[in-house]
Amino acid sequence: MPYADGDEQDVIDRLRASGRLVLSLVAIMDAEVVGHIAFSNALLSDSHDPWLALGPVSVTPNHQRSGIGSALINKGLEIIEKQGAPGCILTGNPDYYQRFGFKLAPDNVPANESELYFMVKAFTPTPPRGIFRFDEAFYYDL
């Protein structure tokens, strides 16, 4: 994907190793893990609000397009909203993520991210003010 680095599995390892994998959900079918979603902290400039970042999310190829990704995303968003996050950010395909209420957010796009793929979903009517930053695990340079 144009917005993907191809190292998403390493990002999850780095988040887990650093203790900053805030929320990790798996989908299980017939005792087999068929999907996973990760959430980590998102930093908003000039703010201590506990925004979170969604991703990576993945479903094994032979189980894609059967609703598992949507279930992981909806359940994850439900949990972080209940836990008090003001909202969630991600980098991804707008055609997919807009159905979950994410909107392009060119005013808040992190440095080195594309405003064509950076999206925000606020759980409150107040939109975020400032520039976001993903966890450093996303920027590790091998």
Ligand X SMILES: CC(C)(COP(=O)(O)OP(=O)(O)OC[C@H]1O[C@@H](n2cnc3c(N)ncnc32)[C@H](O)[C@@H]1OP(=O)(O)O)[C@@H](O)C(=O)NCCC(=O)NCCS
Residues that bind ligand X (CB under 6 A): 1, 4, 8, 55-59, 64-70, 92-93, 95-96
User: 3-state DSSP: the chain helix, strand, coil percent, rounded to 5?
Assistant: 30, 30, 40
For residue 17, the Cα-to-chain-centroid distance in whole angstroms is 18
Q: How far is the CB of 77 from ligand X (least distance, A)?
A: 13
Query: Would you say 67 or 127 has its CB closer to ligand X?
Result: 67
Query: Would you say 46 or 95 has its CB closer to ligand X?
Result: 95
State how far the Cα of 38 lies from the Cα of 122, in Å rounded to an integer. 18
Q: How far is the CB of 50 from ligand X (least distance, A)?
A: 22
Q: How far is the CB of 99 from ligand X (least distance, A)?
A: 8
Residue type, 40: S
Specify whether the CB–CB gap between 68 and 61 falls below 8 A.
no
Specify whether the CB–CB gap between 53 and 136 falls below 8 A.
no
By beta carbon distance, the residue nearest ligand X is: 69
Q: How far is the CB of 102 from ligand X (least distance, A)?
A: 12
Query: Would you say 8 or 49 has its CB closer to ligand X?
Result: 8
